[in-house]
Amino acid sequence: MVRRPPSSLQHRSGSSSRWFAGFSPGRAPAGGGVEPSSGGTVCASGLPGSMWCHRLTHLFSSTRCLLNRGSGHQISWQPRYRKSLLAVSRWHHMAPASLNCAWQLHGDHLELRYAETLMRFDYVWLRDHCRSASCYNTKTNQRSLDTASVDLCIKPKTVRVDETTLFLTWPDGHVTRYGLEWLVKNSYEGQKQQVMHPRILWNAEIYQQAQVPSVDCQNFLETKEGLKEFLQNFLLYGIAFVENVPPTKEDTEILAERISLIRETIYGRMWYFTSDFSRGDTAYTKLALDRHTDTTYFQEPCGIQVFHCLKHEGTGGRTLLVDGFYAAEQVLQRAPEEFELLTKVPLKHEYIENVVGCHNHMIGVGPVLNIYPWNNELYLIRYNNYDRAVINTVPYDVVHRWYAAHRTLTTELRRPENELWVKLKPGKALFVDNWRILHGRESFTGYRQLCGCYLTRDDMLNTARFLGLQA
Ligand SMILES: C[N+](C)(C)CCCC[C@H](N)C(=O)O
Ligand SMILES: O=C(O)CCC(=O)C(=O)O
Ligand SMILES: [Fe+2]
């Protein structure tokens, strides 16, 4: 039995809400809800080891309908120029030494040019983000200001900018200071040029040529470096291996707890299975399983899946891994309007089980591809053809276009060059990012025992950030 690591990584807390791309039939343009797209720039993949940095300008216009609120009111992501002409529309430049900074007050926003970034700030935003001692607690990083008490028509009384700082004085005399660097980092314009998660998208060749090392179990458990290297690889590729793990369920649990919290589900906390038909799911047979992500029937699919094969006396049973984001990227390049449809059409997935002692009915809803609306970065793929439920969330013509888009994605996912096949052996634990990487298995003969668990994603990211990784 391996030793539990020292508890130096006790930094657990919290959970986060996330923004699900929705589809709004009420506001859908005639013909089914997806606006036509034009052009677009993308820079990713193709080259081995290329970073995921797609900027979908062509999707931008249509992200507006993702933000549609029930009332039928559309929120525009474009800046409003409504009152701008009423304002003192005059550029104020800094002293010649810092000509790279200029600002202008408009009726409803402040325009600031700094470090080659043109930014626009809403006045309520500027008041709301005030970092003064009475508005923000720097010890807890929490806002003390009651946002609801800010006048929605607020405007600064005076504005001043020096070499490093923007000073705003509000009508009640309160002064807000912002570092110019902070504003660049925290502005919408600054954010949308960045990716939340740098990744290396792969097909089999890219992954193999990268020669990503497996980390040794002892290193993983006992050194910060071992853990950090593992997590860095996991974040970049979506899969990572730990070697020399004692082949028991208990030891696998200790590994899992090193990076995250175990997510207990209807399958238990640590699961352990053979082909004994003990549950109502094909995983519990010897049949082949096509590529899929797990727990698509949860509103939030499990973030990570850990697999450790404890025993196999027989043939077959290899594990298939496919980078879903690489395949999605191919769809984006070849058929951007299909990519877009896959981000918009919500689907139900369902798990119905009625075997002795296990009665479960789970339903999860969401599109196949989930993207952040402000930069169109993909963050979750929900793909499981076995568990996809009846489609009753979209009209027939959209359904047909969705089937075509799904076919395009499936074709990419099934290209043999995108398939990474590995044989899991006792001692080698595999961590899979279940929001990105699809897994499957070859049929097998003989006795095969697999153990593992699901992990929460937030807590893995928490560990990664604690170690100084961008996550
Ligand atoms: C991993 N474990 C054997 C416990 C569960 C398998 C769940 C399988 C299910 N069809 C899904 O894809 O979510
Ligand atoms: O048996 C396997 O290798 C994997 C089965 C599977 O897809 C799962 O357990 O989620
Ligand atoms: Fe699975």
In DSSP terms, which residues pair with 155 in a beta bridge?
Answer: none
CATH fold for the domain made of 87-192: NE0471 N-terminal domain-like (3.30.2020)
Q: Are 52 and 206 in contact (CB under 8 A)?
A: no
Is the pLDDT at 306 greater than 80? The verdict is yes
Q: Are 221 and 3 in contact (CB under 8 A)?
A: yes
Q: Which of 8-12, 91-95, 404-408 has the lowest mean pLDDT?
A: 8-12
Atom of ligand 2 at shortest range from CA of 424 = 3
Distance 22 CA to ligand 2 centre (A): 30
Ligand nearest to the CA of 384: 1
Q: What is the pLDDT of residues 238-260, one digit of tens each?
A: 999 999 999 999 999 999 999 99
Class of the 197-466 domain? alpha beta
Give the pLDDT score at 93.
77
**Per-state percent for the chain, helix, strand, coil, to nearest 5:** 30, 25, 45
Are domains 87-192 and 197-466 of this chain identical in fold?
no
The 10 Å Cβ neighbour count of residue 92 is 14
Atom of ligand 1 at shortest range from CA of 387 = 10
Is the pLDDT at 460 greater than 50? The verdict is yes
Give the pLDDT score at 133.
98
Give the pLDDT score at 87.
44
Choose which residue among 266, 291, 293, 307 to substitute to test ligand 2 binding: the one with the highest number of ligand atoms within 8 A of its C-beta: 307
Closest residue by CA, ligand 2 atom 9: 283
Question: Which residue shows structure tokens 């969401």?
Answer: 366
Domain boundaries along the sequence of the chain: 87-192, 197-466
Q: What is the mean pLDDT of residues 369-382?
A: 97
Exposed/middle/buried for 277, CB within 10 Å: 0-12, 13-18, 19+? exposed
Q: What is the pLDDT of residues 76-110, one digit of tens each?
A: 333 333 333 344 567 887 655 555 799 999 999 99
Kindly indicate the confidence band of residue 439, based on its pLDDT and cuts at 50, 70 and 90: very high
Please give all residues whose beta carbon lies within 6 A of any atom in ligand 1, as ranges.
267, 271, 273, 281, 283, 292, 294-295, 384, 386-387
CA contacts within 13 A on the Cβ side of 92: 15
Q: What is the pLDDT of residues 110-146, one digit of tens each?
A: 999 999 999 999 999 999 999 999 999 999 999 999 9
Query: Can you tell me the distance from the alpha carbon of 187 to that of 15, in angstroms, rounded to the nearest whole number?
Result: 24
Give the pLDDT score at 6.
56
Closest residue by CA, ligand 1 atom 6: 283
Q: What is the mean pLDDT of residues 343-354?
A: 97
Give the pLDDT score at 451.
98
Whole-angstrom CA distances from 451 to 36, 432, 448 are 46, 14, 10
